[in-house]
Structure 1
């Protein structure tokens, strides 16, 4: 595996992570960031007592379920900011409703201070590895062919759960790379079906969206052969791999595209329906099996940019994404109903959440807004990283509860590992940022185990959250006096920074130390590079136009590397 130094740790020596998921001795403690260790020092005795109580509860639940840990169903919705679903009072203000998810929220716990990463790929990487994405070399969404992806040396929650006997499946958006080692079937999933790239290709570059003028510069019909010498500079979106399906240990195949075919909005919607149907199919198969299961469903919709499929608006809002949010609510309702029909609800932990804030470039016509929090996708502002998140475990997690404890998407990695009695699989040779939040889920508010979040934009640390306060950091190398601090209860939109004297006298120095500790640990545990390899490697049935695309991109990368 080729290793390159990330921008943030250019001066640090890079070490290669173990390629075997469980190569290190698991009796060692999990390596934690400094802020967690500060909290652990203050609350360790109480946490140990709580853990003893929780372990006894988990053992009792397993015994009542034939010795098996619970199933886990994780649904991650794309580009839906805080208040866009599952909160009826806010939904009605925006002119639509999400009754199925709202009902689900009342059956479980609402995590009111869940932080994601600012965009799709980083959130997914944080969840599946339990690590800030910069630690894995990811700084942005993986939207175009690059020959890059999640490295084989990263340990995923699917690998950890699979190692202790879980059946695992992933359906829908993946967005973590276009090389063989990064496909879901090579990252711990027994079965997977997913696009290689994401909706920028499928929803924004389809023929319908191009004809409606939603994006320019990619429509291959507009080029001038007389003036354009480099035929490879503009990537043909229809040559990119569309959708793959496969099983662990095998080779994936592209499905849904024929040579020369150009996909439209109808094809995009059909793919979304296919993923819904496959999720229901996998749910039934896994429920009928003897193993506990981890089923991950990441739908494509509600991202939608065209109106051609909207004959009559079903909402007062009428925006294409608002309309699609209603559709995804129906999808989620179908899945939850099937869980009930299969008789597995009592032993199935279900988590539903968004992955980042709204696509602000399209809010004027999408039907979305940044609502309470300012900002959206790709931004460190609360509107970019605060998302709705709900968890249900009947008779175990208190129905209708709402907690204000801070949680982060990476916490799901560690919490799911504990649910599955798989903590021994968590690697001990790298920092794990995810915090076990099972005490919060089982015991309720004030039992969370984090009061801080580090927020990056790309490789740059942009904000620090501690308790109710948030510090916006100056650019790297900038004057510290340019930092600004906000009380998120008093100023949730982060538009009125506190007086600099108040900051200096109060928390300015402590925020500075918090950043220094976090960045300082990178000297011992430097950020890693992503995996690199042949674009679309291992896919058995690449189309001729895709093979040509691969050849062009890999040739260009060989020149970048300094050799042909």
Structure 2
């Protein structure tokens, strides 16, 4: 752990001291970061009064719902940033429409300042654990097998809800690790269908994409191997595990992949269609059960890069991702229609949102761009961490509302835990970053409970958001008064830093202290390492080429292990 002095210089001689008595004083309560405690000190009485009224509303709902809390359906779209879905005024800018998501947005609340993490795995970790991914040690979007994943010591939302009477299922992208403890069925889900890896394997390194030249150096057919000595340097994507199915307490197995098969774009599309159908099937099964349910659908689309499979474009945009966004909007329309057919719309909370900004490496060709906020996937800029997010709960959340309060994807953990009667199951031995935003959902704008965000790129804290201002953190030893700062309402693209005298003098010191408090809390509650274990452990039917891949990786990893 780096010292505070290595990160930011002290401002005006102010030193920050947090004694261990702070941690002891919070024993038995959810442990929060310092910024939340500052807000709680100012607004705690009002929040407590609001919570009493909210508890009455929730009790009335449960009484009408047979004594049960609501179902939860969470749909997370991959690499879809702010303004890419559900905002019809932008159709003319984007060159495509998403009518089903737009209708859904009109039926509920649009969270206009939803922040996520800069890439897919960190956002998913934050949502499921309620913690900044850096705290879990698993905050990187892994593209190849490594024997690493979300540790079993982390407590996920699925575990919290399952412990409190929910049936749980996950369908679609997972991307939380390639070891047994990190699979969805071992992280609280009763049933799961998901690929082990992500679209770098499925969409960029499928045989169709390789033939179109989207990735170099992978397909050995496209170059001579006369001087290649190390046959293991290039990962064979076809030897990696693809889609899996499993149930809690049982084995997990790979499906729809035969020995020697070369995974193509057609296979990728078929996998996505199966996940959509499985979501429909699981929802019907869960709706007939006696328990409330938590169902996650994380579609593979709209990530798609090939063009040879597009017979005729359906959009003015014409990019493969734009075409896939329209297709997945159709999938979501089917799911929302099934919710109505099953008669569960009024007792089901549904959230639809993106996980991070667009994949800028394929900008323009894909049909995406940083149209409003600058930046994209992997970046701490607003374009990397601002997404469209919508929530619907008929009769409980006012229709057609747009709120400007700041929210973060980790807030879903705490909010869903409360609404699912699971607050008592939230762990008390670690910092929980997610804030309960039930008041915002049920009471509306100005009732949010955060006005700050810490934005990481991997393990590095890169920027701070407080109210409408944002500071890009200086390098170690840099003077925070001279750091780049932005008024996000006046300069949403973060390309014209504010004058250091006009803004820096007023906020530079406070931003610096905000960062120092955050890092000091990390000294009290240190970041943990990710989970480790045997690569593809627990998968009962590995193909011969997969076993060879595992053997090669384990041999190379073993060369650096101290024999003592």
| Distance in 2 of aligned mates of 1:204 and 1:252 | 25
* Preserved CA contact (<8 Å) 2:244 2:254: yes
| Distance in 1 of aligned mates of 2:519 and 2:336 | 42
Aligned to 1:15: none
Aligned to 1:92: 92
| Distance in 2 of aligned mates of 1:213 and 1:7 | 42
TM-score, length basis structure 1:
0.95
How far does the alpha carbon of each residue in 1:452-491 deviate from its partner, in whole angstroms, 9 at most, with x for none?
Answer: 0000011110000000000000123444355110000000
- Structure 1 residue 432 corresponds to structure 2 residue 404: no
| Distance in 1 of aligned mates of 2:304 and 2:563 | 41
* Preserved CA contact (<8 Å) 2:125 2:139: no
Aligned to 2:70: 70
1:8 CA drift (Å): 9.4
How far does the alpha carbon of each residue in 1:111-155 deviate from its partner, in whole angstroms, 9 at most, with x for none?
Answer: 000001000000000000000000000232022100000000000
How far does the alpha carbon of each residue in 1:198-234 deviate from its partner, in whole angstroms, 9 at most, with x for none?
Answer: 0000000001000000010111324544322111111
Deviates more, 1:501-510 or 1:287-296: 501-510
- Structure 1 residue 121 corresponds to structure 2 residue 121: yes
| Distance in 2 of aligned mates of 1:439 and 1:401 | 14
Q: CA RMSD in A?
A: 1.6
Aligned to 2:354: 354
Segments of structure 2 that go 5 or more residues without pairing to the other structure are 7-25
* Preserved CA contact (<8 Å) 2:51 2:439: yes
| Distance in 2 of aligned mates of 1:191 and 1:72 | 15
- Structure 1 residue 389 corresponds to structure 2 residue 378: no
Deviates more, 1:313-322 or 1:472-481: 472-481
| Distance in 1 of aligned mates of 2:515 and 2:559 | 38
Aligned to 2:407: 407
- Structure 1 residue 267 corresponds to structure 2 residue 267: yes
* Preserved CA contact (<8 Å) 2:481 2:509: no
* Preserved CA contact (<8 Å) 2:481 2:508: no
| Distance in 2 of aligned mates of 1:561 and 1:202 | 32
| Distance in 2 of aligned mates of 1:511 and 1:435 | 20
| Distance in 1 of aligned mates of 2:542 and 2:2 | 34
Distance 1:389 1:337, change over 3 A: same
| Distance in 2 of aligned mates of 1:123 and 1:111 | 16
* Preserved CA contact (<8 Å) 2:482 2:504: no
TM-score, length basis structure 2:
0.95
1:62 CA drift (Å): 0.6
| Distance in 2 of aligned mates of 1:104 and 1:421 | 26
| Distance in 2 of aligned mates of 1:217 and 1:478 | 40
How far does the alpha carbon of each residue in 1:40-71 deviate from its partner, in whole angstroms, 9 at most, with x for none?
Answer: 00000011111111111111111111110000
Segments of structure 1 that go 5 or more residues without pairing to the other structure are 1-5, 12-25
Aligned to 2:345: 345
| Distance in 1 of aligned mates of 2:42 and 2:129 | 27
| Distance in 2 of aligned mates of 1:329 and 1:475 | 42
| Distance in 2 of aligned mates of 1:143 and 1:59 | 45
| Distance in 2 of aligned mates of 1:124 and 1:277 | 22
| Distance in 1 of aligned mates of 2:163 and 2:67 | 16
1:371 CA drift (Å): 1.1
1:185 CA drift (Å): 0.2
Aligned to 2:43: 43
Aligned to 1:517: 517
- Structure 1 residue 139 corresponds to structure 2 residue 139: yes
1:108 CA drift (Å): 0.1
Tell me the SS of whatever aligns to 1:263: coil
Aligned to 1:459: 459
| Equivalent residues, number | 545
- Structure 1 residue 80 corresponds to structure 2 residue 94: no
Matches within 5 A, 1:24-423: 28-222=28-222, 224-423=224-423
How far does the alpha carbon of each residue in 1:160-182 deviate from its partner, in whole angstroms, 9 at most, with x for none?
Answer: 00001100000000001000000
